[in-house]
Structure 1
């Protein structure tokens, strides 16, 4: 995963009014924490941050007024209506350090013939990986699965150096049999027969 470089400024003013003015100026308030160090309040450029966060578990090389810090996003607050970023929590990491993160589960292939339904019980699983080698997603094949089949967390192939944190027996995907609906005409005839 490529590092994204973003310059940040230390934030010394706090409160809703200050945060609102920061966002109006096209910037996003955030915090950097981890490794037992004091929390650092920062302001980040909104557009650059938004582009970086398009990649899940983005690795960001943060330049905080001349001091370089490697971080990954841990919590992103977005505006419910407009979707823009309102605040971000960044976790400081070191090269070679392992971190637990959630990764998306993608499927590939076609189910067995028939009208079966695929249910994603879990859209993400938690894995532990080196901070500089976090997978963007994991892919599982559903080719040929029939009604009643399920894929457990332990069945999902993980990249080298990545270990599963989610319960190994947790159901991630299951295949359900589609419920057949009775034609409307038969219901009407049955109701008329009961009235007679």
Structure 2
């Protein structure tokens, strides 16, 4: 998000009744059941317009305001529950925030470029698909780009080599592998020069006659 951050706002309505039957009724009316947590306040049970929520998701908006009967709160999208087919939103969890406070969120890793090691027959493996990022709530990036243009077979990129937006910090262990290129199945990695020399100089075991 840019420094000219503009927070979007959607309307929400209080839910007077709870339970699965009421939730189904709300969804049939084109709305999504939601719960707002945080800031040492009681959870608020509300519903939001399905279309409005989908627009926010489509535009990758995680931080937005909700207007509950004239009371506006800054919130962050915490969790979405989808149906079995991943097409219908069943429920949403929101957390109250201050847009200028720091939050810790999972941000997806986006690989960019082409690895010469993969072009040469290596296999790209990505142990970490998301990173735990500490940043300002209004500065949550859509993704963290990781360039793999220089990865040869046997090379790896670790957490401590990842560039993040200024003022942000990754909580994952620095030595964790984000992405690496391994030899094709059944092909051993080339030995280091020293190891190869030792193997060549090692005497053969005597055999009994």
Smaller-chain TM-score bracket:
0.7 to 0.9
In structure 2, relative to structure 1, the CA distance for the partners of 1:134 and 1:149 (3 Å cut) is same
TM-score w.r.t. the length of structure 1 is: 0.87
Answer yes or no: is the 8 Å Cα contact 2:151–2:180 preserved in 1: no
- Separation (CA, whole Å) in 2 of partners of 1:51 and 1:141: 30
The equivalent of 1:133 in structure 2 is: 139
Answer yes or no: is the 8 Å Cα contact 2:111–2:146 preserved in 1: yes
Give the aligned CA root-mean-square deviation in angstroms.
1.6
- Determine which of 19, 28, 47 is the counterpart of 1:15: 19
The equivalent of 2:68 in structure 1 is: 64
Count of aligned pairs between the two proteins: 181
- Mark the runs of 5 or more structure 2 residues left unpaired by the alignment: 188-209
TM-score w.r.t. the length of structure 2 is: 0.82
Q: Identify the structure with the greater strand proportion.
A: 1
TM-superposed CA distance for 1:56, in Å, is 4.2
Answer yes or no: is the 8 Å Cα contact 1:55–1:136 preserved in 2: no
- Determine which of 81, 94, 108 is the counterpart of 2:112: 108
Q: Which has the larger radius of gyration?
A: 2
TM-superposed CA distance for 1:108, in Å, is 1.2
The equivalent of 1:178 in structure 2 is: 184
The equivalent of 1:188 in structure 2 is: none
- Mark the runs of 5 or more structure 1 residues left unpaired by the alignment: 182-196
TM-superposed CA distance for 1:55, in Å, is 4.2
